[in-house]
């Protein structure tokens, strides 16, 4: 039996801001690629590589946002809302690979320094920073709508920090002639990208693995449900995040057999839903409960411990 107060399963949003930021990022990538070739700057090349990966990620994010708006069907019962988690995991995974490559190249540059054209390097750094600031302003009000947009915001933020590192390195090289500033800036960019990308990857994978959402303790949920009149037992409980803002929970609820005779089943369902909506930090948007009799558990084909 199912009791659902909210049937709106909105997917990832923000198609327009993603399209604008993608255009900005792709343009800056092209400019920085030319700048890295012209100035021989590894830091600028690292930032250009980051921009390229971000452009790929934003293409995927844009596709995910469009797909998430498609309606549900009998074949895809949640629609395509979980594409946002796949997109975020893919973007974060590529970012981690780029971090490793940048770190390797930076260490190599310490032993084989290259002559860098600092003034030109600074110009491209300013162009990148300005574009990133515009992108951040566009995404700022949308980033909490989905993992997809959070990943995009994170990438643009890292780009901005990378551009700042490029500018600092250009200044140091110009005023002191210290060539090591370029690979050091590259390492800083890698260190900025790596941990944040790893955290985003873990969050996205947890959604795909249907890990119980943070803040939703299933043992506490079970205890609250057991306090409801006529409820004898709660087992086979599963909680998961379908997409950002959409948490689903299913459970087998054993009720007093007299409920079937007295017709109190609907009242039990309403109380179960209210319990999940009011007592926990995480709002459960979609609940599905199977009401059982005490003898039904003997007919179940799987043994459940929760």
pLDDT digits (tens, 9 = 90+) for 196-229: 778 888 988 888 888 888 888 888 888 888 888 8
List C-alpha distances in Å: 146 to 18, 84, 202, 226, 227.
12, 7, 15, 33, 34
| pLDDT over 50 (residue 23) | yes
Smallest CA-to-CA distance from 83 within 139, 12, 27, 152 is with 12
Q: How many alpha carbons fall within 13 Å on the CB side of residue 154? A: 25
Q: Is the dihedral of CA 271, 272, 278, 279 positive or negative?
A: positive
| DSSP code at position 192 | H
Helix and strand element counts for the chain (H, E): 9, 3
| DSSP code at position 2 | B
Lowest mean pLDDT among 59-68, 133-142, 186-195: 59-68
Is the separation of the CB atoms in 61 and 152 below 8 Å? yes
Give Cα 29 to chain centroid, integer Å: 23
Smallest CA-to-CA distance from 91 within 66, 55, 132, 139 is with 55
pLDDT recorded at residue 144: 67
pTM above 0.95, yes or no: no
Is the separation of the CB atoms in 61 and 148 below 8 Å? yes
CA trace torsion 111, 114, 118, 121 (10° rounding): -100
Classify 271 as helix, strand or coil.
Answer: helix
The span from the CA of 99 to the CA of 112, in Å, is 20
pLDDT digits (tens, 9 = 90+) for 242-294: 876 678 899 999 888 887 777 788 888 888 888 887 777 777 878 888 888 88
């Amino acid at each position: 039996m199912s009791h659902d107060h909210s049937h709106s399963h909105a997917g990832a949003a923000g198609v327009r801001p993603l399209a604008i930021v993608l255009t900005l990022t792709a343009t800056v990538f092209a400019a920085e690629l030319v700048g890295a070739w012209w100035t021989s700057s590894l830091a600028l090349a690292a930032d250009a590589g980051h921009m390229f990966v971000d452009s790929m990620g934003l293409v995927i994010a844009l596709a995910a946002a469009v797909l998430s708006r498609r309606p549900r069907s009998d074949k895809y019962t949640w629609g395509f809302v979980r594409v946002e988690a796949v997109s975020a995991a893919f973007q974060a995974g590529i970012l981690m690979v780029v971090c490793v490559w940048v770190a390797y190249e930076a260490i190599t540059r310490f032993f084989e320094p290259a002559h860098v054209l600092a003034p030109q390097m600074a110009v491209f750094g300013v162009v990148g920073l300005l574009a990133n600031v515009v992108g951040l302003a566009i995404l700022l009000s949308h980033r909490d709508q989905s993992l997809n947009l959070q990943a995009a915001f994170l990438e643009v933020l890292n780009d901005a920090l990378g551009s700042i590192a490029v500018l600092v390195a250009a200044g140091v090289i110009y005023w002191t002639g210290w060539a090591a500033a370029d690979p050091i800036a590259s390492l800083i960019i890698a260190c900025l990208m790596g941990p944040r990308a790893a955290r985003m990857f873990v969050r996205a994978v947890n959604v795909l693995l249907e890990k119980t959402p943070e803040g939703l303790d299933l043992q506490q949920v079970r205890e609250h449900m057991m306090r409801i009149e006529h409820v004898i037992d709660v087992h086979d409980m599963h909680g998961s995040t379908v997409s950002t803002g959409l948490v689903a929970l299913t459970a087998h609820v054993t009720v007093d057999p007299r409920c079937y005779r007295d017709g109190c089943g609907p009242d039990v369902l309403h109380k179960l839903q209210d319990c999940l909506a009011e007592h926990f930090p995480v709002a459960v948007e979609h609940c599905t409960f199977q009401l059982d009799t005490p003898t039904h558990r003997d007919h179940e084909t799987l043994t459940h411990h929760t």
